[in-house]
């Protein structure tokens, strides 16, 4: 695959920065990160363009004129943007300033007569391919598309002078988000639960198995969104987390495409389901047909030894 001359990364979180820096290295001859916040966390690219600290008086959006000026000066071929809420906002601002549009939620990016992205449509049932031939392409990138590696400090750190925005939005208050902090994207082993579980108490069976094998617990969307038995950060799939574990055990999960695309990169998939015709059995490496209430205690007991 041919490479682009200059690929920029814009991320607001360290995990995404590491993933996108790796992607930039695959796609570009030279790479640069645009970073605001803790300077000591920035790295992984040839250059870091450091914007400054974030505070209530200076939120990420306030850096938009600074970033636009930088991009117009440096003319990168591609800007990879973290697909977070603020990332998507900045992608739109950058693209509008560069007279182009955003290639949204890329699940794959290649270089072939321009920048070619693929993204999931129809709830993950199909892929849409888009090509940009703009001088500067802006793409938001879904989490887990590139392998995150700690690629070390940048050779070159450039402090970018702040350009004050005209009308500003002021941050009035910051609050710690209620709920759990879990990073399923980084988990090596995942035990995932679905609607085969009939009560929150029954989830303990999966939690005990997860504890025995050192796994994180994930779930399907209905368990988080409808039953609300688990935090939304734990649901896997096209509209949740895209995970890449070495081992995924799906229990009481039917295997709908919207869930399974979230573990399509798992190295080994094990399914436990009482219905021998469940779709998940067509997508797993090993399957156990049985009632989770019988299978899980037996499996946990064996694996705890």
Ligand X SMILES: Cc1cc2nc3c(=O)[nH]c(=O)nc-3n(C[C@H](O)[C@H](O)[C@H](O)COP(=O)(O)OP(=O)(O)OC[C@H]3O[C@@H](n4cnc5c(N)ncnc54)[C@H](O)[C@@H]3O)c2cc1C
Residue ranges in contact with ligand X by CB under 6 A: 123, 194-196, 220-222, 235-240, 252-254, 256, 258-259, 272-275, 278, 291-293
Q: Which is nearer to ligand X, 43 or 250 (CB)?
A: 250
Match 């399509």 to its residue by tokens: 264
- Least distance (Å) from ligand X to the CB of residue 253? 4
In the complex, minimum distance from the CB of residue 260 to ligand X, in angstroms, rounded to a whole number: 8
The residue sitting closest to ligand X, measured at its beta carbon, is: 237
In whole angstroms, how close is the CB of 248 to ligand X at the nearest point?
12
Helix (H, G, I), strand (E, B) or coil at 276: coil
DSSP string, 209-261: HHHHHT-EEEE-HIIIIIS--S-GGGBBSTTSB----SEEEEES----HHHHG
Find the shortest distance in angstroms from Cβ 128 to ligand X. 15
Nearer of residues 154 and 260 to ligand X, judged by Cβ: 260
Is 62 or 244 the residue whose CB approaches ligand X more closely? 244
31: Cβ contacts below 8 Å, ≥ 6 apart: 6, 7, 8, 9, 21, 24, 25, 45, 46, 47
Report which secondary-structure segment, H or E, holds 289: strand 286-289
What are 104's two structure tokens?
Answer: 């949204």
CB of 227 to ligand X, least distance (A): 9
By beta-carbon proximity to ligand X, the closer residue of 57 and 285 is 285
CA distance 149 to 45: 11
123 versus 179: smaller Cβ distance to ligand X: 123
């Amino acid at each position: 695959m041919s490479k682009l001359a200059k690929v920029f990364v814009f991320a607001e979180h360290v995990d995404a920065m590491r993933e996108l820096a790796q992607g930039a290295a695959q796609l570009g001859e030279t790479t640069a990160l645009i970073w605001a916040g803790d300077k000591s966390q920035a790295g992984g690219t040839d250059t870091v363009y450091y914007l400054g600290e974030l505070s209530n008086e200076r939120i990420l959006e306030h850096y938009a004129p600074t970033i636009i000026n930088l991009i117009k000066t440096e003319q990168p071929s591609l800007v990879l943007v973290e697909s977070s809420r603020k990332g998507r906002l900045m992608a739109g601002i950058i693209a509008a300033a560069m007279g182009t549009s955003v290639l949204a939620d890329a699940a794959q990016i290649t270089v072939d007569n321009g920048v070619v992205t693929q993204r999931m449509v129809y709830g993950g049932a199909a892929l849409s391919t888009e090509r940009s031939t703009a001088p500067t392409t802006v793409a938001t990138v879904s989490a887990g598309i590139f392998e995150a590696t700690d690629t070390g400090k940048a050779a070159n750190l450039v402090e970018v002078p702040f350009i004050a925005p005209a009308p500003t939005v002021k941050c009035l208050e910051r609050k710690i988000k209620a709920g759990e902090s879990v990073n399923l994207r980084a988990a090596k082993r995942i035990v995932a639960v679905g609607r085969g579980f009939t009560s929150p108490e029954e989830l303990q069976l999966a939690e005990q198995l997860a504890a025995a094998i050192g796994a994180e617990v994930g779930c399907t969307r209905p368990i988080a969104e409808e039953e609300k038995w688990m935090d939304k950060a734990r649901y896997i799939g096209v509209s949740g987390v895209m995970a890449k574990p070495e081992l995924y055990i799906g229990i009481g999960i039917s295997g709908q495409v919207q869930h399974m695309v979230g573990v399509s990169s798992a190295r080994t998939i094990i399914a436990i389901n009482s219905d021998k015709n469940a779709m998940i059995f067509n997508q797993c490496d090993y399957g156990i047909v049985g009632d989770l209430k019988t299978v899980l205690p037996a499996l946990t007991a064996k694996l705890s030894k």
